[in-house]
Every structure is written in C-alpha cells, then in structure tokens.
Amino acid sequence: MKRVTGIGGIFFNAKDPAALRDWYKTHLGVDVQPWGGAAFTWTEESGAPTGGSTIWCIGGAEGGDGFGPNKAAFMINYRVADLASLLQALRDEGCEVLEKTDDSEYGKFGWVIDPEGNKVELWQPPEGQ
C-alpha cells in the first residue's frame, strides 16, 4: 500500500496572521490571496503544469483544536492515496490516530499524532486530482 505520496500543504499558526501574511508577501514574494494563503502549482521540469498544487496558508491560533495537542507553529498536510486504509494501518501499528475524519469537496482528511505530539494531517484529494 502506498502511504504518503507528497505534500499537500503547509499551514502556519500566527499571533498576528495579517502581519505575517504581509511579511511573506512583501519580503518573499508569496502571492497571498484573500483567503489567507497561496497555491503553488506543480509543474514538470519543462514548466508545464501537472494538475496539482501545494497549499501554503497562515491562520490564527485562536479557537478550535488547531494543531493540537501541542502548540506547534505549523502543520504539514501529506497527500495520500487511500486515507481509510492508511489510517487503519497506522492504528494496527499502534499509532495515535484521531477518530475524527472529514470528507468535503476538497477531499478526505484524517490526523495522526507523531511521537513528539505533533498533529499530522493526511489528505486524500478528490477523485481525479
């Protein structure tokens, strides 16, 4: 079974999300959009698009469980081929897998906690992506 097939996104917590977004836009040229992030389109060596993207997003640390259980400043979202099978394999291997999953227009999401207490997001894109 394939496990992680790539990085789907990187998500940052920030004390002042607007200021941090502005810093990345001004100093690093990240094309920050009104929704708070940017999509880096995947390309082949020739520069031709391959039909996918990696999301980069800055949000506030307040509310919800964020990247808990620890107070991490960021969370990486890993692209996977078969979320349900991978979550079951991780459970069978004794990993701490969160029971909550999410199925939306953006795909299927699940979470596992690594040995350092970091919340890791696993994402199965919608069919055809």
Residue bearing the bigger pLDDT, 51 or 65: 51
- Number of domain units in the chain: 1
Is 129 within a domain?
A: no
CATH number of the structural domain spanning residue 40:
3.10.180.10
Task: Say what the pLDDT of residue 105 is.
Answer: 93
Is 65 within a domain?
A: yes
pLDDT bracket for residue 80 (50, 70, 90): very high
Contact 11, 77 (CB under 8 A): yes
Task: Say what the pLDDT of residue 65 is.
Answer: 56
Per-residue pLDDT tens for 83-121? 999 999 999 999 999 999 999 999 999 999 988 888 899
Whether the per-residue pLDDT at 63 is higher than 50: the answer is no
Contact 6, 78 (CB under 8 A): yes
Is 66 within a domain?
A: yes
Q: How far apart are CA 125 and CA 105, in angstroms?
A: 9
Per-residue pLDDT tens for 39-49? 988 888 787 87
Q: How far apart are CA 65 and CA 80, in angstroms?
A: 23
Domain that holds residue 95: 4-124
Residue bearing the bigger pLDDT, 129 or 59: 59
